[in-house]
Amino acid sequence: MSAQQREHTLDWYRQNLSVPPDHLKRIADAFQKELEKGLAAESSLLMIPTMVDILPQGHESGEYYAIDVGGTNLRVLYARLGQEPKSVEAEAVHSSQVPVELQSAPVEDLMDYVVQHTIQWSEQQGCSLLERSDPVVGFCFSFPVEQTSVSSGKLLRWTKGYTNPGAVGSDPAKLLGEAFKRRGIQANVGALINDTVGVLAAVRYIDGTDTIASVIMGTGTNACYMEQLGNITKWLPHYRPRTPDMVVNIEWPGFQATELPVLDEDRQLDAESTNAGEQQFEKLTAGLYMGDIARRIILRAAENGELFGGKVPENMRKMEQFETRFMAVAAQDNSAELSTTAGVLSEAFGMDAASIDLADLQEVKQICSLVSVRSARLIAAAICGIIMHLQRDKPKHEGGPPPRNCIAVDGGVLVRYRFYRELLVQGVRETLGDAVADQFQLKVVAGGSAFGAACMAAATTGYLRSMGSPRGQGQKLKFPPRRQSLDRVRSISE
């Protein structure tokens, strides 16, 4: 294929993946409308009231555990919150992958594994669950849950490739508690939250109240934000609010709008996925899918004779063979002769790195960059929709500066890849203007959602104690200091 034909193909993908400023604004408007619709009735955004109307304030104290299940990883955490405001006297955290076979096993098997793993880890770390008479656990469960209280709910459906039978329609907190009981532990699951609420809670504990929302961008993606109760008209009739606000879990993976830029490769991926026809926005943006979208574009180019002399390695035809980490490395490759991209193609597809033509490597890099650009700009448009809904895209008064819009973030894509964050911030700037963008900031918390789950368990049990329903804290474990809270939060908007 000639260089002219190659450039023509790349131009087509540039036009259909780049999302120019006017298109960004239309998507942000569409997202805002779906968000407001979802507060009152059914929309493509589930807009789930979380029952979290009290976030950590920084004065909580005591010893807490957290379990974070969602996507590919299982994270377990122990934290001792100090008597000094916003302090963490001791902490330990561990992350590991959930075995693939357990993502489709009966849910009891999954929960038994989670509990057994947590117990073994706590024994190794010297913060044994078995030594506690009444351990308090925050459960971060990052799947769509209809909350019935801050510590209970009903799983609406599995996402992220999980299909465990026996879970949909059940209370995840109860399932976890029963797994603890099978090991002889009477655990108090003090909070059931998803990862977005966990990240928001973590930042609120450490860093004050100017954080309006949180975004997860890793294997999957989602967001939550603080909403005024009066705006939530699809409501539980017997709920007694304690504050005028509540955290709403947007569940934005399912966002649908005609404005979304969908390619044939996206439709193919959706058709071959385990949840065809669902989670469109997530499939355009999240870490589980971006690499495979890039693979499909690369495959089409190879089949058309545009790449690799028309030779198609067999592994290039395999779904999810080109992971998002490969795509991110190629998109940022500044190595001589793009040798890093050649190495990525060798690792992913078994190609001979030394034999790949430089022009082919340049095209692969550009494809990976374009897929990244689309994802970041779509996430930016959704964030802008939240800011617009909260009316924080305008000056507080005539001539005054807009309010600060701090977004708590976690997830491998946002935390690891600076170029992705820069693309996101640029999308906000192009959508809402310089004045608002100058007040926009991303914040990441180390241990994010798991630490936030522990903080939420602390806030919930603290409130119950203040209402006359104490839960025993048991003896204090001997455990060395690990990290002070002031080091936990850092801005990554630069």
* Strand pairing category for 48-49 and 245-249: antiparallel
Structure tokens at 202: 């973590």
Q: Which whole number is the average pLDDT over 99-120?
A: 96
CATH homologous superfamily of 52-207+447-491: ATPase, nucleotide binding domain (3.30.420.40)
- DSSP string for 378-390: HHHHHHHHHHHHT
pLDDT in tens, 188-200: 999 999 889 999 9
Q: Are strands 62-70 and 136-141 parallel, antiparallel or unpaired?
A: parallel
Q: What are the phi and psi torsion angles at 407 (to 5°)?
A: -120, 120
> pLDDT higher for 446 or 135?
135
CA diameter of the chain? 77
Least confident of 35-39, 53-57, 328-332: 53-57
In the chain, what are the domain boundaries? 52-207+447-491
Q: What is the mean pLDDT of residues 181-188?
A: 93
pLDDT one-digit tens code per residue, 23-35 = 999 999 999 999 9
Q: What is the mean pLDDT of residues 172-194?
A: 94
With a cut of 50, say whether residue 493 has pLDDT above it: no
**pLDDT score, position 265:** 96
133-142, 153-162, 377-386, 479-488, range with the lowest pLDDT: 479-488
pLDDT at residue 308, rounded to an integer: 93
The burial class, CB within 10 Å (0-12 / 13-18 / 19+), for 59 is middle
- Amino acid 473: pLDDT: 41
Model confidence band, residue 447 (pLDDT cutoffs 50, 70, 90): low
H or E segment to which residue 273 belongs = none
Query: Looking at the predicted structure, is the pLDDT value of residue 287 above 60?
Result: yes
Radius of gyration of the chain (CA): 23
pLDDT tens digits, one per residue of 215-273: 999 888 999 999 998 899 887 666 777 888 999 999 999 999 999 999 999 999 999 99
What whole-number distance in Å separates Cα of residue 306 and Cα of residue 364?
Answer: 11
Is-contact 22 431, C-beta < 8 A? no
Q: Report the pLDDT value the prediction gives residue 486, as an integer from 0 to 100.
A: 40
pLDDT cut 90: percent of the chain above it? 66
Q: Assign 9 a pLDDT band (cuts: 50, 70, 90).
A: confident
pLDDT tens readout for residues 132-161: 888 999 999 988 888 888 899 999 999 878
Give residue 348's pLDDT band: very low, low, confident or very high (50, 70, 90): very high
What's this model's pTM, rounded to 2 decimal places?
0.87
Mean pLDDT of 167-180: 96
CA distance 190 to 441: 31
What are the two backbone dihedrals, phi and then psi, of residue 480, each rounded to the nearest 5 degrees? -75, 150
> Residue 477 pLDDT > 60, yes or no?
no
For 72, 117, 270, the CA distances from 179, given in Å and listed in that order, are 21, 12, 34
pLDDT at residue 484 tops 60? no
CA atoms of 10 and 4, how far apart (whole Å): 10
In this model, does residue 469 exceed pLDDT 60?
no
Q: What is the pLDDT of residue 487?
A: 52
Q: Is the pLDDT confidence value at 461 over 50?
A: yes
β-partners of residue 227 are: 246
pLDDT in tens, 403-432: 889 999 988 899 889 899 999 999 999 999
> What are the Cα distances from residue 468, in Å, to 206, 472, 473?
27, 12, 15
CB 48 within 8 A of CB 145: yes
With a cut of 60, say whether residue 60 has pLDDT above it. yes
Asked if residues 76 and 137 have their Cβ atoms less than 8 Å apart, the reply is no
Q: CA-to-CA distance for 457 and 437, rounded, in angstroms?
A: 34
Average pLDDT, the chain: 88
Confidence tier at 397 by pLDDT (50, 70, 90): low
Q: Each residue of 311-345: pLDDT tens digit? A: 999 999 999 899 999 999 999 999 989 999 999 99
- Mean of pLDDT values over 442-471: 75
Helix axes 3-17, 358-389, angle to 10 degrees: 10
- Mean pLDDT value of segment 6-21: 88
**Six-digit token string for 402:** 């807009």
